[in-house]
Copies of this chain bind each other. A is one copy, B any other.
């Protein structure tokens, strides 16, 4: 089974396990809607690529870490799309969770996904229990306070914030967590992998800013032009399209350079390069 199929299958199994007859059907459907169909699953793929590059002997724990990170990413999208934040009617080409299920179930679906993420980690820990505490702490750091996704979304509620601090929290922290979790699941030191996560996170944010300005809604499955409408910081607004593209190129090059020497180096390089290409809006994409 290829990596993406393993991720989809892991997500399906994790959600199936809580879709028991005793569970309220609405929230079960809302959680499923939040996770499927997915985006590119880039964070869990990154996590598993780092695990393969440096890991040993805890494949189920690594897969649970990847699943947990994707569930936390989906949770953040559900809450971020709500009327009190981005008020986005669509996501991944379908109605956002609050549009399809109402605001109460959107709040609860996000909550349930956060709990499910940590639960998935705990349930896979039998393989290497000694690795669980650091792994959990790394994942928490990517989503919670003081500098994870929740902090990133909370910066949007402040009258002033530094663009880099906002982006590091809102996007970068979960990429850093994905690399750290891959290393820790494999029993390795996460420190050498931090720079890769940081560069990719920043690249992904710039790519997202470019797509918000240069793509159309059909292409990315959600409304465009939202940053301008909501007064959000955006790299294209600051640097223009050409400047943002140059920044993206530089970040991708830095990400590739940041990959530590390891057996999986070539795999990781091609993952990063393919992502970089995929993230450009079609009209800015290089002809292969």
The smallest beta-carbon distance between A98 and chain B, in angstroms, is 9
Residues A133 and B123 in contact, CB atoms below 8 Å apart: yes
Closest to A156 in B: B104
A107 contacts B104, C-beta separation under 8 Å: no
Q: Which of B105, B111, B133, B145 contacts A125 (CB 8 A)?
A: B133
Chain B nearest CB, measured from A190 CB (Å): 15
Residue A262 is within 8 A (CB to CB) of chain B in the complex: no
Across the interface, A27 reaches (CB within 8 A) one of B103, B121, B129, B150, namely B150
Asked, given contacts A133-B122, A133-B123, A165-B22, whether A84 binds B111 with beta carbons under 8 Å apart, the answer is: no
Alpha-carbon distance between A150 and B31 when the two chains are bound, in angstroms: 12
Say if the beta carbon of A172 comes within 8 Å of chain B: no
Interface readout for A56-90 with B: 1 if CB under 8 Å, 0 if not? 00000000000000000001000100101100000
A144 to chain B, nearest CB (A): 3
CB neighbours (8 Å) of A242 from chain B are none
Residue A37 interfacial (CB < 8 Å): no
Contact B24 A161 (CB under 8 A): yes
Contact B118 A129 (CB under 8 A): no
In whole Å, how far is A112's beta carbon from the nearest beta carbon of chain B?
Answer: 5
Cβ-based interface call for A11 (8 A): no
A115 near B136 with CB under 8 A, answer no
Closest residue of chain B to A119 (Cβ to Cβ) is B140
Interface residues of A in 110-148 (CB under 8 A from B): 110-112, 114-116, 118-119, 121-123, 125-126, 129-130, 132-134, 136-137, 140-141, 143-148
Number of copies: 2
A contact residues, range: 35 or more
A79 neighbours in B (Cβ, 8 Å): 107-108, 111
Tell me if B26 and A147 are in contact (CB < 8 A).
no
Q: Cβ of A157 < 8 Å from any Cβ of B? A: yes
A103 → B minimal CB distance (Å): 4
CB-based contact A154/B105 at 8 Å = yes
The residue on B at minimum CB distance from A118 is B118
Which B residues touch A27, using CB under 8 A? 145, 150-151, 154, 157
Given A123-B137, A132-B129: A150 touches B25 (CB 8 Å cut-off)? no
Q: Is B122 a contact of A140 with CB atoms below 8 Å?
A: yes
Q: Give the residue of B85, B104, B119, B132 whose beta carbon is less than 8 angstroms from that of A144.
A: B119
Interface presence of A158 (CB below 8 A): yes
Q: Does A19 contact B (CB under 8 A)?
A: yes
Does A102 sit within 8 A of B, measured CB to CB? Answer: yes
Q: What 7 pairs between A and B have smallest CB-CB spacing?
A: A115-B144, A23-B146, A122-B136, A27-B154, A119-B140, A18-B145, A84-B103
